Amino acid sequence: MRSSPVTDRRRFALLDRDGTINEEVGHLADPTELRLIPGSADAIRRLRDLGLGVVVVTNQANVGRGLLAPGDLERIHARLREMLADEGADVDAIVHCPHAPEDGCRCRKPAPGMALDAATRFGFDPADGFVVGDHAGDVGMGRAVGATTFLVLTGHGAEEQETAGDDADHVVADLAAAADIIAARIGREAAAMTHDELRATALDYLDATADTVRRVQAGCLDDIAAAAEILIASLRGGGKLMICGNGGSAADAQHLATEFVSTLTIDNPRPSIPAIALTTDSSLLTAIANDFGIEGVFARQVESLGRAGDVLIAISTSGSSANVVKAAEQARSQDVQVVALTGESGGALAPLADAAIRVPSTVTAHIQECHLAVEQLLALMVERTLYPPG
């Protein structure tokens, strides 16, 4: 039988007895009548394996009424422990309230007394724990201490569902199903990083981003300047800019087009610069994809809109996006110049470009971050050349 000291535990599950762990047989008075609900012992073992403490909390008004002797109750609980042990499970304690409903005690569920006493005894926060039972009283006790509550449909749970189901956080088939949910929740919480871990992750990530930016600065300035010169010459000659990309690069296309057509800042109110993102018209995109295939969604628009002297800004972190490559091929066939933003390899796109800015990285996220910086820089260089401030 597995056991571990309760002092090591930080969270607890408080479980009802009759109808939750063992079968409901009315007023249980004989240990030989105990029958475990199938799967309940395994569920308790799983809860313990998750690092939870387990306390059984049960209303036993028959003790106070003299219908069940305290010694008989002890024998029932001893037998329950034996049956659980036979299946490799154990509990930290079994506590009971001996009072009748009319006694108005602080411990009879749904009052929180038993939960609070267990929390004091074992040193845990009941609001951080779980309460599982088949009665509205179990749910009520759990809610009173802020715990996550489960109404099981074993025992009286099915008949209690109408009145208690809305109050419970979860309505589940049985204790085993409750254990499944608890295990999933604890797994998610365990996977979550601490503040210090999050901070360290942020530092590592930003260091990597900064390193990639430094490598762009060291190796891509001539290409950036060449790209800016192409854009400036086109716009001075009455040309326009067409921009395309997929996913995050599609968002970049729209962002960059906005910077040109609107303005970078309101501090420099200048004429609008003609630019269009080829990623925005859903009717057109879906029609072309349906009629010509997804690889043609940008090329078809270049064919329609592109004129000699225009520029296509083609964005692909891999340089291998088929629809972006095809758009570049179409642009070259129409004497439309191509500025490419890619990753380190350049893919099939870079050789098609009149200027290719290859971010020296193979990490998509860092390539995208640098693309955005370069795009903002290109817009700034174009604006300051064509419409200098002041």
CATH number at 69 reads 3.40.50.1000
- What's the number of domains the chain is made of? 2
Residue-wise pLDDT for 319-340, tens only, equals 999 999 999 999 999 999 999 9
Summary mean pLDDT of the chain: 94
Residue 200 domain-assigned?
no
CB 58 within 8 A of CB 16: yes
116 and 30, same domain (yes or no)? yes
Q: Tell me, what's the pLDDT at 390?
A: 73
259 and 153, same domain (yes or no)? no
Region 248-260: what's the mean pLDDT? 97
Region 5-34: what's the mean pLDDT? 83
Residue 6 has pLDDT above 70, yes or no: no
Residue-wise pLDDT for 45-67, tens only, equals 999 999 999 999 999 989 988 88
C-alpha distances out from residue 45 to 56, 115, 281, Å? 14, 21, 57
Residue 1 domain-assigned?
no
251 burial level (CB within 10 Å; 0-12, 13-18, 19+): middle
Residue-wise pLDDT for 124-160, tens only, equals 999 999 999 999 999 999 999 999 999 999 999 999 9
Residue 8 has pLDDT above 70, yes or no: no
Q: Tell me, what's the pLDDT at 9?
A: 47
- Residue 48: which domain range? 6-191
Residue 210 domain-assigned?
no
176 and 264, same domain (yes or no)? no
170 and 276, same domain (yes or no)? no
Region 204-217: what's the mean pLDDT? 96
143 and 75, same domain (yes or no)? yes
Backbone angles phi, psi at 56, to 5 degrees: -90, 130
Residue 211 domain-assigned?
no
CATH number at 247 reads 3.40.50.10490
- 273/250 Cα distance (integer angstroms): 19
Query: Where does the pLDDT of residue 190 fall: very low under 50, low under 70, confident under 90, or very high at 90 and above?
Result: confident
